[in-house]
Amino acid sequence: MNPIYRKFQASVTQQLFALNQALTSCRVAPSIQHPVWCTASVNERHYRSMPTHGIGRWRHLLPRNAPKKKKEKHQMKGIFSATATSYGTLNVKVSGHDMTVVERYSQYIHNLCIRLGINVAEHYALPTKSTEVMLMQEQGTKMYVDAVLKTHERVVQLSTLNATLCPIFMDVLLKNQPEGVELSVKEHTEADFQARFKTRPELEGLISQIYQ
């Protein structure tokens, strides 16, 4: 073993020595020809046989991405339908007047689903609705604005729900429901999805004109 090792070492040291000599000779040359060697040698691309060929390449290290698509229309995620052992796409809607409580409860539901292994398709908010509470004045017939109540809604969309898991899930949700918060579980339909978008009256007018 040892002689081989020593020979290997010897050969390595010989190579290093040779390289050193080559390097020193190389180093001398650029300094004579180009006193400021930074700018010039960076722009020179080394020849293919040179060990440092392709030293500055970096684009091959980036992940391959498809070219950037144009802004896409909001596609609806597929709606699952109920099978014999699981429910389809369900919307768990949480609504109430206190925004912090409603948001925290919807976050709790989302985290519970992750923990139980239920797939959460989406978690979005519906626009807030303001309700004005008007009271009759004590002396007089005019109504005056007593309070403005805002109703906040958050929806957690589950793609599927196992039938065996459903009673446990619902039980936990109901037992942890805070005061002042309403919980509703419904099936998701395409109409629900479309209701989130704003209508564009001019576009609809133009389309109706085309088809007239």
Partner 1 sequence: MAAPCGRMASRPLFRFLSRFSGICVGHTGIRHFSRASVSRTTAKSETEGERGGSPWTLMAAVCLQRLPVISADYNPMEQRFKDMLHQIELEKSVLSDHELRLLEEAERMSRKQAGDYDSDKEDDVDQEILLAQDMEDTWEQKLKSFQPAPRVRADVDKDLSSPERCLADSLVLLTEQQVGGEKMWLLPQTQWQEGETLRQTAERALASLPAGFKVTFLGNAPCGVYKYKLPKAIRTESCVGTKVFFFKAILTDSPPPKPEKALFLWLKKNELEKYLKPAYMLKVGNFILDL
- Note the residues at the interface with partner 1 (CB under 8 A): 82-87, 96, 163-164, 166-168, 170-172, 174-187
Burial classification of residue 125, based on how many CB atoms lie within 10 Å of its CB (0-12 exposed, 13-18 middle, 19 or more buried): middle
Of 99 and 185, nearer to partner 1 (C-beta) is: 185
Of 125 and 183, nearer to partner 1 (C-beta) is: 183
Q: How many other C-beta atoms are found inside a 10 Å radius of the C-beta of residue 154?
A: 23
Shortest gap between Cβ of 200 and partner 1 (angstroms)? 30
Count CA within 13 A, CB hemisphere, residue 175.
6
Let me know: does 79 contact 189? Beta carbons within 8 Å.
yes
Of 20 and 184, nearer to partner 1 (C-beta) is: 184
Shortest gap between Cβ of 141 and partner 1 (angstroms)? 18
Assigned token pair, 74: 């909001």
Shortest gap between Cβ of 96 and partner 1 (angstroms)? 7
Of 187 and 204, nearer to partner 1 (C-beta) is: 187
- The rounded radius of gyration (Å) of the Cα atoms in the chain is 35
- State the chain's maximal CA–CA distance in angstroms: 114
Of 18 and 163, nearer to partner 1 (C-beta) is: 163
Of 121 and 166, nearer to partner 1 (C-beta) is: 166
In angstroms, how far is CA 179 from the centroid of its own chain? 32
Shortest gap between Cβ of 81 and partner 1 (angstroms)? 10
Shortest gap between Cβ of 135 and partner 1 (angstroms)? 11
Give the closest residue to 109 by CA, choosing from 163, 164, 181. Answer: 181
Shortest gap between Cβ of 192 and partner 1 (angstroms)? 13
Q: How far apart are CA 163 and CA 144, in angstroms?
A: 50
Assigned token pair, 187: 């099936």
**DSSP state at residue 159:** S
